[in-house]
Amino acid sequence: MSAEVSNPNPEASGPVRVLSIAGTDPTGGAGIQADLKSIAANGGFGMAVVTALVAQNTRGVRSVHVPPVAFLREQLDAVSDDVVIDAVKIGMLGDAEVIDTVTRWLDEVRPPLVVLDPVMIATSGDRLLAAEAETALRGLLSRAHLITPNIPELAILAEEPAATTWPGVLEQALRVSERYAVRVLAKGGHLEGAHAPDALVDASGTLPERARVVEFSGVRIHTENTHGTGCSLSAALATRIAADGDWLAAIAEVKRWLTESITHADSLHVGEGHGPISHFAGLWSRGGLATERAAGEYLEDWWQAIAPIRHRANTLPFVEQLGAGTLDRDAFTWYLAQDALYLRDYSRVLAEASKLAPTPEEQAFWAAGANGAIAAELQLHQGWLPEDEVFSTPPAPTTIAYVDHLLAAAARGEYAVIIAAVLPCYWLYQDIGTRLVAQSHPEHPYASWLETYADEVFARSTRSAIGYVGEAVRRADPETRARMFEAFERASAHEVAFFAAPLEARAVPGHAE
Ligand SMILES: Nc1ncnc2c1ncn2[C@@H]1O[C@H](COP(=O)(O)OP(=O)(O)O)[C@@H](O)[C@H]1O
Ligand SMILES: Cc1ncc(COP(=O)(O)O)c(N)n1
């Protein structure tokens, strides 16, 4: 019996790399074309080496061209010299020279899993393997971990008449398994009746619970469109067994996929003979064809959506006068006091984001933000503003409104919404600051304040915050996305109102100064 297949590539994550060595079908239903679709539909990365070019369609085979075997060898080496191969599926080989070439290559490369579909005669009755090559093919069987003959092919390998009953197929498959020391997937596709069973047959009894036959039941679908089912089945098996390592689970999964793909064959309308199966029908119906938007795209939309708010920020008298250096000193000091008051609660909201973060990386990021807000920034403010002035300044309505919005988000405890709410204090602040710092010069009365906007660490934090919020939007369901945007938009409006307040709200009677 051929070597056991454990997981061939346990270190590698990502799709298994599966090579199909087979002939072509320009109508896309059988051969290499079917194999690549089947590998992809079952989660693998498909590669293909062509043994023979076949001029065929759904009605039958017109002619076969077998390129020189030296070129076949070059194709095989081109793949194995470069790519780690997790599994090989072998289909149509054409003639004895091709079989010898593939056999030698297999002996050198020893792929961890080889599934051989001993293609001899197409559904249409045309020969796909020269009669004199059958002996050479027998030599290849023991190199395979699994062979998938249909009933007529099984009979040729057994050198017996074709079985006409399912128990007869299983007995013949056992004899073939014993004779060639190989696992056989016996297929019931060519029988009549309501069922289309398959079975994994292993004469050496190495299947779970020392079984020699494990059956996989299946309903027969009434359709003429089964061109390429054998090709598709073997390529899918190579993929799933390589990926899973659990033979029985992999076969059961492939059988379900194949039945589903045959069920949808009639909807394809490819050709007038025996049409192909619909390899991606299940994926299309379950996953659809929509591409997934990148995280950054969502936030680009958000940024566009708050364009009016951003425009207001850039034309505020406070921002213009701060940049020009003409800002009234009292207004500036009042702004700093409000900022200090704001930062105390902002820090608490960032701490809440840290508490709820789904990854240690995000947890650390928001915790650092909370620390930065309360420690570093307050320290900076103290250089401009005595601590008692902060305490003696009552919070303005704009400050209260902004802080309440953030604290409410924190109280509701939804991580995605909290980080959307705190984002404008990074993003808009950074955006306004970038314009302000450009106006700084050594004689500027607010030069040392404006320079704080040039802080590269804050710029990096802003990019990270945008990244985390973007990822959270991408992961979120539509309702959560809507709540996130609402929290972001409202916080953006509060952020701008906060910049407007020193010149607009400070002097309004009734507002504390
Ligand atoms: N009409 C059908 N309904 C459901 N499954 C089928 C049908 N025809 C074939 N199959 C399945 O397709 C696979 C290929 O079967 P088969 O026709 O025996 O091989 P081949 O395509 O090599 O001649 C098997 O898993 C078989 O059970
Ligand atoms: C290149 C190539 N390989 C295999 C088959 C068998 O197809 P089917 O699975 O319908 O018997 C085919 N028609 N062409």
- 428-467 pLDDT, tens digit per residue, is 999 999 999 999 999 999 998 888 888 899 899 999 999 9
Which ligand sits nearest to residue 121's alpha carbon? 2
pLDDT at 246: 94
Q: How far is the CA of 30 from the centre of ligand 2 (A)?
A: 5
Q: How far apart are CA 325 and CA 450, in angstroms?
A: 10
Q: Which atom of ligand 1 lies nearest, measured to the CA of 233?
A: 13
pLDDT digits (tens, 9 = 90+) for 197-206: 999 999 998 8
Q: How far is the CA of 150 from the centre of ligand 1 (A)?
A: 8
User: Is the model's pLDDT at 378 over the cut of 70?
Assistant: no
Q: Is 227 in the pocket of ligand 1 (CB under 6 A)?
A: no
How much is the pTM? 0.75
250: Cβ–Cβ under 8 A, 6 or more apart, which residues?
Answer: 237, 240, 241, 243, 244
List residues near ligand 2 (CB under 6 A): 22-25, 30-31, 54, 56, 91-92, 119, 122-123, 128, 227-231
Q: Is 259 in the pocket of ligand 1 (CB under 6 A)?
A: yes
The catalytic site residues sit at 187, 226, 228-231
Q: How far is the CA of 71 from the centre of ligand 2 (A)?
A: 22
Q: Tell the residue nearest (CA) to atom 2 of ligand 2.
A: 31
Q: How far apart are CA 219 and CA 35, in angstroms?
A: 23
- Mean of all residue pLDDT scores within the chain: 92
Q: How far is the CA of 193 from the centre of ligand 1 (A)?
A: 12
Q: How far apart are CA 92 and CA 491, in angstroms?
A: 65
Q: Which atom of ligand 2 lies nearest, measured to the CA of 229?
A: 9
User: Is the model's pLDDT at 507 over the cut of 70?
Assistant: no
pLDDT at 121: 84
Q: Is 190 in the pocket of ligand 1 (CB under 6 A)?
A: yes
Q: Tell the residue nearest (CA) to atom 6 of ligand 2.
A: 122
Task: Identify the helix (H) or strand (E) that includes residue 494.
Answer: helix 478-504
Domains of the chain: 17-279 (3.40.1190.20), 295-504 (1.20.910.10)
Q: Is 220 in the pocket of ligand 1 (CB under 6 A)?
A: yes
pLDDT digits (tens, 9 = 90+) for 279-320: 999 999 998 888 888 999 999 999 999 999 999 999 999 999
pLDDT digits (tens, 9 = 90+) for 398-416: 999 999 999 999 999 999 9
ipTM higher than threshold 0.90: yes
Q: How far apart are CA 318 and CA 39, in angstroms?
A: 62
What average pLDDT does range 190-198 have in this prediction?
A: 93
β-pairing, 45-50 vs 53-57, is unpaired
pLDDT digits (tens, 9 = 90+) for 101-153: 999 999 999 999 999 999 998 877 888 898 889 999 999 999 999 999 999 99
* Best mutation site among 128, 153, 233, 261 for ligand 2 pocket (most ligand atoms within 8 Å of CB): 128
Q: Kindly list the distances between the CA atom of residue 53 and the CA atoms of 106, 297, 500, in Å, as whole numbers in the listed order.
A: 21, 44, 74
Q: How far apart are CA 279 and CA 5, in angstroms?
A: 26
